[in-house]
Amino acid sequence: MFHRPASRRRFATAAVALALLGTLTTSAWTGGHGNGEPHSPTPRSTAVASTPGTTTALSGYAIQSTAEVTDSAAAVSSPGYPTGGWYPAGPRSTVLAALLAGGKYADPFYSTNQQKIPKADFDVPWWYRSDFTVADTSERTQLDFSGVISAADVYVNGRQIAKAADVAGAYTHHELDVTSLVRAGTNTVAFRIQPNSPNKNLTMGWIDWLQPPPDENMGIVRDVLVHRGGPVALRDAHVVTRLDVPSLASADLTVKARVRNDSDAPVTATVSGTIGSLAVSRTVPLAAHETKPVVFAPADFPQLRLTSPKVWWPAGMGEQPLYGLDLTASVAGTVSDTAHERFGIRDVQAPLNSDGARQYRVNGRKLLIKGGGWSPDEFLRWDRTYVEDRLKYALDLGLNTIRLEGHIEPDEFFDLADRYGILTLPGWECCDKWEGNVNGGESGDKWTAADYPIAKASMAAEAARLRDHPSVVSFLIGSDFAPDATIEKNYVDALKASDWPTPVVAAASDNSAPISGGSGMKMSGPYDWIPPNYWYAKREGGATGFNSETSAGPDIPTLDTLRRMLSPAELDTLWKNPNAKQYHRSPSSTFGTLKLYDDALTGRYGAPAGLTDYVRKAQLAQYENVRAQFEAYGRNATDASKPSTGVVYWMFNSGWTSLHWQLMDRYLDQGGAYFGAKKANEPLHVQYSYDNRSVVVVNSRHAAASGLTARVTLFNTDGSQRYDKSAAGLSVGGDGAHSTALTVPSSVSGLSATYLARLTLTDSAGREVSRNVYWLSTKPDTLDWANTDWYYTPTTSYADLKGLNSLAQVPISASASTDAGADGTSTTTVTVRNAGSDRTPSLLTDVHLVDASGKPVLPVQWSDNQVSLWPGESATLKVTYRTADLHGSVPYLRISGWNTPERTVTAAKVPKQR
């Protein structure tokens, strides 16, 4: 986030294919644990394979505070040590995640339960202890791991093999040879994990995103692997690709690896590899304990020069084919080690345009980065299905990018991003130790001599891990601040040594570094409420350049979710007291209350009459603001002057039950923010411009569109029509081009202070291909640009949208049916119709899939939702979900809206045809 004064600093604080829906989940850790395995009193011993080249992950740990353990490290780390009274932990688990899974504390996502967890319990080291069995000791054995927070002393079978000073940093990678210590039968590895402080350690912190966990995520959050191999180890296997752009007709592949002789005698290794049907091989003589690089280049192996390669594209731009590399190192015909990598062939460039903004191009084609800021689970619990669900939501929203500011997820995350075509922007986080040397008066200790090698090793490890993933299109070596010259050189040297293939960005803010140059990004906010017309100004956070993190702040969840996360007293305070400190917003004093947001809600829509009315108004406000943000950036993407090149919604999701910075809530429920983004990012889209009243068609598809007709109709709140105009024969280019169809007059006779604008776009056959409804005011929101602060621009007067309160109630009829698919998913189809007898439209009619008890079925993917219908109009909506998430219930649809009485209808299953 953006550099701000020390006194205001952040605290350390197209629709997706139905086939993608096969693994949707509701596992939001309301109970149980995130690793998918049942906890037992004593984690089972991990059986380690003996075959050379195999890798086995430890299956879990027994953990205990060192305050409760008086025995020596040698005893604790020896096989047979009794662990009665210890806590079980999964293979990737923080201390607190394990304690929560064991039921030691009440749900920390509810109310202020997390405050009741004593922080002092985590001020001392904790033991992580795991047993593994080896049947054959003739092969070499290495421990391979990263993800230790913050540091650890490591022991195997009673012997210390590494000190905490050497195993430090969440991202550093470690390979420890334990061959001499491993015995046939049971072996023990033990980690004495040191307490974490994001301000003191190069690990992970939460800045002002949420209330930080009391243990500060101390633990082991990636797999610890036991690797078996022969005398020659094969490491660092990867593929460097060079795609011919713009023809895409050929690609050169260069395969690289290192071979290491771990024996005391010279050997000759044969390194062989395949990529599909392509095969390469060469012999490598190695002295005792010698390491050599191995390179297979097209100059020596012409088969690595591909014609008509299968090119990887971001979602919506093409397919996502992946290639597999298999390498084997053999000695005297016997396999010694193996390696496997998946990679994609694509080209990424991101030069600065004439305005100094970073413009991404993939395979030679420009694209507007439309993204969201990613948050893992607050307790770093990994759940592949839950992660996959959120990535599918990103596609459903029309986003193409996820930004990871720190909290760089495990390998599976990037595998999924590769598979779905979602671009990723990983990088280091701001405002703690990572930027301690450059962040002025903000939190984060200055670096000592010991920190520089940790940071460089972290960069090298992440570069090696991420470089083959085609979804990774940059690494941001700074966030709010660019690194200083020494730190930057260490980062860049590590990236170059790892054959990093994509642009290196100095910072997510408008900063530069000596080697990387200007970032081409801006971090000018806002982070709190501003009106929709803000986004259209080509200044501050408005739609010009590349805004790396921004939104209008609070995103109030649905009423269903609010009741799951707040106590009755907190719910009462939520709508009654804008000045109240909101625990579920942020630990930051800047973002501690909802005052800016609540003042705007009251000023524009009228004072809430109760909790339900507050949430109802919040969903309307969030829909219009999120829609405006993405629409403004979409409209300006192909401007000749000061175009927009990227926007990252802050944030895509939250790691806990939050009141701000999220397009969907913790439980994956969808409200106004979600559907506002989905509407704005539809591939062929008609939209209204708040700045100049133009009606614009934006085409995000590659192919141009023609024969279109755009129409705009204005209505008073009583339903009377005051203006209607169409523009036919429209054409619009592809790849984000836009075309202005017409402009609404600045003054329309008889228009009420609050009015509605209905926009439609039809194709040459008269079919409606886009529809968009706005609620507007003849009195605009007025911004005080001169007093802009780092997190918002004040609004001196509000638009008058109170006329919406006079909309008459409109009955909605609905009919629905359900088809249960053979793949474990069901699709419910519902047709909703405005059955009113007068002229009044139903505004933002929402349909929620619920079970027999009225509980939302989540996650779901709707073809469309929160639709606005005029009398006689209907819309047919489809929702796809996992059948199992109904838990045996018949599906029901709860229908509500701004001026629609709530009702629930059943969605009977369609009988199977015989």
- Give the active site residues: 480, 549
List, as one string, the DSSP characters of 625-684: HHHHHHHHHHHTTT-SSS-EEEEEES-S--SSS-SBS-SS-TT----HHHHHHHHHT-SE
Which value, to the nearest 10 degrees, does the dihedral of the CA atoms of residues 682, 683, 688, 692 take?
Answer: 140
**Amino acid sitting at position 598:** D
**Using CA atoms, how far apart are residues 584 and 573, in angstroms rounded to an integer?**
12
**Using CA atoms, how far apart are residues 745 and 752, in angstroms rounded to an integer?**
15
Q: Which residues pair with 325 in a beta bridge?
A: 275, 341
Q: Which long-range contacts (CB under 8 A, 24 or more apart) does 84-88 make?
A: 86/42, 86/62, 86/127, 86/129, 87/62, 87/63, 88/39, 88/40, 88/41, 88/42, 88/43, 88/60, 88/61, 88/62, 88/63
How many Å is the maximal CA-CA distance in the chain? 94
Cα 22 → chain centroid: 20
Q: Which residues, at least 6 apart from 567, have a Cβ–Cβ distance to it below 8 Å?
A: 110, 111
Q: How far is CA 647 from CA 208, 413, 643, in A?
A: 20, 22, 12
Q: How far is CA 549 from CA 208, 279, 358, in A?
A: 14, 45, 14
**Using CA atoms, how far apart are residues 621 and 604, in angstroms rounded to an integer?**
9
Identify whether the C-beta of residue 647 lies closer than 8 Å to the C-beta of residue 633: yes
Q: How far is CA 22 from CA 665, 827, 865, in A?
A: 21, 12, 21
For 894, the enclosing helix (H) or strand (E) is strand 892-897
- Hey, what are 357's tokens? 């903004």
Identify whether the C-beta of residue 817 lies closer than 8 Å to the C-beta of residue 908: yes
Q: 């047993």: which residue's tokens?
A: 131
- Omega before residue 651 within 30° of 0, cis: yes
Nearest to 447 by CA among 153, 171, 169, 207: 169
List, as one string, the DSSP characters of 25-81: ----SSSS-SSSS---SSPPPEEEP-STT-EEE---EEEEEGGG--S-HHHHTSTT-
Nearest to 313 by CA among 419, 178, 461: 419
Residue 231 phi, psi (nearest 5): -70, -25
Helices (H) and strands (E) in the chain, counts: 11, 52
Residue 242 phi, psi (nearest 5): -135, 110
